[in-house]
Structure 1
Amino acid sequence: MAATGDKWVMTLKAAAAEPAGTLFCFPYAGGSPETFRGWTDGIADDIELVCVILPGRGRRLKEARYDRWQPLVDDVFEALSPHLDRRHAFYGHSFGGRLAYELSHRAAAEYPGMTRRLFVSGCRSPDMPQRRPYMHQMTESDFRDAVAGMGGTPAELFEQERLMRLLLPTVRSEIRLAELWDDRHACGVDVPITALYSPDDPIDGWETMRGWQKFTQQDYELIEAPGGHFFVDSHPEFVTDIVNTRLGNLNG
């Protein structure tokens, strides 16, 4: 699964051992494959590491962004469908965790038994209310300050005005989707869930993530991670150790 010819996915690490399974990764709002590129040394050899690329960043920077959940889920699922007929797992952080959960519903229904685990991190459960006031309703200057304060965007990017004018609408659009997201399903996923939170996360910590146990029909665990909201960036070794342990039987 190479980047060329498929605008939706980028393979960051091909599996070097068989039998292989695929881990599809979904970044936070406005995020890029760079977050998961730091995982390549830590991911087990029998796991293919793939990042899903949405419109509004990287090579898709000028493409139209999504403003509703259903078209987004439909299009991503269609794009991934050719790859979902073999064993795989989903990992999503923050906004990406919401998208990974939505896709797990579809994948588990249409490709039974192939989705072996859902990882969600820094992402409130569907029944937890979003903190107010909404970021996506802020003025541009306040929104910039809020995004900078979150810490996920390199400080030097804010000095590149042209790039920020292109990127910030994508961040706002995906934060809007994340903030308006709620429970859209009659039951949880038929997939085991591993949820990761940081006690130092001011956005979504233990209090807003503990409810994930109600959204799976299989096993569930809630794991404390070091770092703040962006521990997927700052502590890749911790996360990949968790992933490798849980996916040790990905092909079992």
Structure 2
Amino acid sequence: MHVQKPSVTEHSGQPPRTRLICLACSQEHLGQYRAWSHALSDHIELVAVDVRRHAECSPCNPLQGPSALARTVAKYLHPYLEGPHALFGQRLGAHMAFELAQLAEREYPEQTRHLFVSSCDSPRVAEPAASANAIRIPVTVLYPPGTLPEMLGWHAFIRRELELIELPEHSVDKSYQDQRLVRIFNTHLGLLGF
């Protein structure tokens, strides 16, 4: 398990109020997170977690509870989870972010401020099993065009606000898409500072 804390310029001299924990299932994700770390607001510290060395990022099974890998990652991230934080996972890393949110909600009540998942279908469990594993954390689901029906399943796992945001086409400039994601993080996590 490798945790990267990219260098962040501190303009205010104040410690970050919220950590954005981003799970990486590929080298591309790590590079993307490094770029984001320089664009986020000063009060947000990005923590990139490379989980690809320990296991393939794979879909979770909410009926079995959080996986052994998610429990190991949660133990490793203890210093970050015990304070205010948000979680982000894309593609299959989104399922691990969901599992971490479940664990953090039990172990560190009210510290998980937001869960962001991107480009990932919801876990495949029907009601009422989904309700038994639902989290009480605001969730933002970011999805590519044409995939909204697959994203609607997340609703069954959420007992607070659920926001759905369609991302631009993949043909759109990657830097534009990254800027949009950073704005979403800054807006959502910036509201937590008040």
Distance in 1 between residues matched to 2:173 and 2:189, nearest whole Å: 20
Gaps of 5+ in 1: 1-6, 57-63, 130-182
Q: What residue number does 2:99 align with? A: 102
Distance in 2 between residues matched to 1:127 and 1:85, nearest whole Å: 29
- 1:36 Cα deviation after fit: 1.1
- 1:249 Cα deviation after fit: 2.7
Matched, 1:192 2:138: yes
Q: What residue number does 1:75 align with? A: 72
Q: What residue number does 2:2 align with? A: 8
| Aligned 8 A contact 1:22 1:50 in 2 | yes
Q: What residue number does 2:88 align with? A: 91
Matched, 1:20 2:23: no
Distance in 2 between residues matched to 1:238 and 1:232, nearest whole Å: 10
Q: What residue number does 2:192 align with? A: 250
2:55 to 54, 65, 81: 65
Gaps of 5+ in 2: 61-66
Distance in 2 between residues matched to 1:39 and 1:117, nearest whole Å: 17
- 1:96 Cα deviation after fit: 1.0
Specify whether residues 42 and 73 from structure 1 end up closer, same or farther in structure 2 by C-alpha distance, changes over 3 A only: same
Specify whether residues 83 and 232 from structure 1 end up closer, same or farther in structure 2 by C-alpha distance, changes over 3 A only: farther
- 1:234 Cα deviation after fit: 6.4
Distance in 2 between residues matched to 1:98 and 1:122, nearest whole Å: 11
Matched, 1:238 2:180: yes
Distance in 1 between residues matched to 2:112 and 2:170, nearest whole Å: 28
Q: How does 1:75-224 map to 2 (within 5 A)?
A: 75-127=72-124, 186-199=132-145, 205-224=147-166
- 1:8 Cα deviation after fit: 2.5
Q: What residue number does 2:46 align with? A: 49
Indicate the RMSD between aligned Cα atoms, in angstroms: 2.9
Specify whether residues 45 and 211 from structure 1 end up closer, same or farther in structure 2 by C-alpha distance, changes over 3 A only: same
Q: How many residues align structurally?
A: 182
- Tell me which protein shows more strand as a share of its residues: 2
Task: Kindly name which structure, 1 or 2, has the bigger radius of gyration based on alpha carbons.
Answer: 1
Matched, 1:38 2:32: no
